[in-house]
């Protein structure tokens, strides 16, 4: 009888251990981004959340924090580096703003990329792979995917339009916190200002800044047309939305989870591209009813290109590897 009881207890214990071993631990992920809830970035982030939740059977729970709730790009990257945040969804341009990611300043050079396809091909090329690997190692941040068209940047102003390079002189323009963009505006004669995106609307309304350089979708989704009169369709800088993850957190995940997260990120990036392309036509139509929209050939973009010649020579071999810009420019 004692022997039978012992065998039964052993069976129960073994079954319990097997159940515990088979039960995977739940994972919580916080994902931050800077865009408002009407922007394609937020919609793509929600799609990513839903896909991962579904594919993991609810085991991985993602909470999305939009509209700079967790801070701007630099603040969120810093939180990932200290282990206080797991993921960020944001432009590849912004990766250059932290120590170790400086090579990505090359992505903010005006007119360097012909279109989204050219930029995507360059960043996913074999010659760019070592750049990405070094940046990941130096920052402690994993680039999960670089995939998602955010539409090109333009310029919008409060009081006066910009037609040619001389119109930039003395213009107080809110820019991204990028040495490349700051150099661009200073070279053009403007006065670049650092204002958090969450404060941009009021800065424009009160005249703290005269202009800003986000694209048309941002101008509409953030209602910047309410405090500005002119939009210049320069398409001068391109960006690609990117899913980032804290490297220590990434390394804790299983290979199966890596594949699942990568797949969801790729599909969510594709979804953002679809939304962006779908919205762009209607966005310009809407802005034309609220602002004066100025497009080439009214814009003398050639005078801007000429003024910027040689402006970034000092970045070659310091911000990004020597010869990288030549390879990017030569890519068909």
CATH number for the domain that contains residue 218: 3.40.190.10
Query: Quick one: angle between helices 301-308 and 179-188, nearest 10?
Result: 110
Give the closest residue to 120 by CA, choosing from 263, 241, 268, 262.
241
Residues of the chain with pLDDT under 50: 2, 4, 6-8, 10-22
Query: Is 299 within a domain?
Result: yes
Same domain, 146 and 160: no
Question: Do the domain assignments include residue 3?
Answer: no
- Does 34 share its domain with 175? no
| Residues 259, 118 within the same domain | yes
Kindly state whether residue 276 falls inside one of the protein's structural domains. yes
In a domain, 5, yes or no: no
Identify whether residues 44 and 137 lie together within a single domain: yes
Residues 183 and 194 in one domain: yes
Q: Do residues 45 and 7 touch, judged by C-beta distance below 8 A?
A: no
- What is the Rg, in whole angstroms, of the alpha carbon atoms belonging to the chain? 23
In the chain, the number of structural domains is: 2
Indicate whether 245 and 145 sit together in one domain.
Answer: yes
pLDDT value at position 19?
38
Same domain, 223 and 262: no
One domain for residues 139 and 186: no
Which structural domain, as residue segments, surrounds residue 159? 155-237+292-311
Q: What pLDDT is attached to residue 198? A: 86
Same structural domain, 92 and 128? yes
Question: Which pLDDT belongs to residue 332?
Answer: 77
The reported pLDDT for the residue numbered 10 is 43
**What local confidence, expressed as pLDDT, does residue 23 receive?**
57
Confidence (pTM) = 0.89
The pair of structure tokens assigned to 173 is 């323009």
- What is the predicted pLDDT for the residue at 15? 41
Same-domain check for residues 49 and 82: yes
Residues 218 and 304 in one domain: yes
């Amino acid at each position: 009888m004692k022997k039978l009881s012992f065998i039964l207890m052993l069976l129960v214990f073994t079954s319990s251990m097997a159940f515990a071993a088979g039960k995977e631990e739940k994972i919580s992920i916080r994902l931050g981004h800077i865009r408002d809830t009407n922007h394609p970035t937020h919609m793509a982030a929600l799609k990513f959340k839903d896909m991962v939740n579904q594919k993991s059977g609810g085991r991985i729970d993602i909470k999305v924090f939009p509209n700079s709730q967790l801070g701007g790009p630099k603040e969120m990257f810093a939180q990932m580096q200290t282990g206080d945040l797991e993921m960020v969804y944001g432009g590849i341009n912004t990766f250059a703003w932290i120590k170790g990611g400086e090579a990505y300043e090359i992505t903010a050079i005006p007119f360097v990329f012909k279109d989204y396809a050219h930029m995507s091909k360059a960043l996913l090329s074999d010659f760019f792979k070592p750049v990405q690997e070094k940046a990941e190692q130096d920052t402690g941040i994993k680039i999960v995917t670089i995939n998602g068209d955010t539409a090109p940047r333009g310029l919008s102003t409060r009081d006066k339009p910009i037609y040619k390079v001389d119109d930039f002189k003395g213009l107080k323009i809110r820019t991204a916190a990028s040495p490349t963009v700051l150099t661009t505006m200073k070279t053009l004669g403007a006065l670049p200002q650092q204002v958090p995106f969450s404060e941009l609307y009021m800065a424009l309304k009160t005249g703290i800044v005269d202009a800003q350089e986000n694209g048309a979708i941002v101008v509409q989704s953030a209602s910047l047309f309410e405090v500005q009169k002119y939009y210049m369709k320069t398409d001068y800088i391109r960006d690609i939305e990117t899913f980032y993850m804290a490297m220590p957190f990434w390394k804790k995940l299983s290979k199966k989870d890596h594949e699942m997260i990568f797949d969801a990120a790729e599909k969510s990036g594709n979804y953002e591209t679809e939304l962006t392309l779908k919205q762009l036509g209607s966005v310009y139509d809407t802005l034309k009813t609220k602002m004066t929209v100025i497009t080439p050939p009214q814009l003398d973009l050639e005078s801007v290109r000429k003024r910027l010649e040689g402006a970034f020579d000092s970045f070659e071999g310091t911000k990004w590897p020597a010869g990288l810009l030549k390879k990017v420019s030569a890519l068909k």
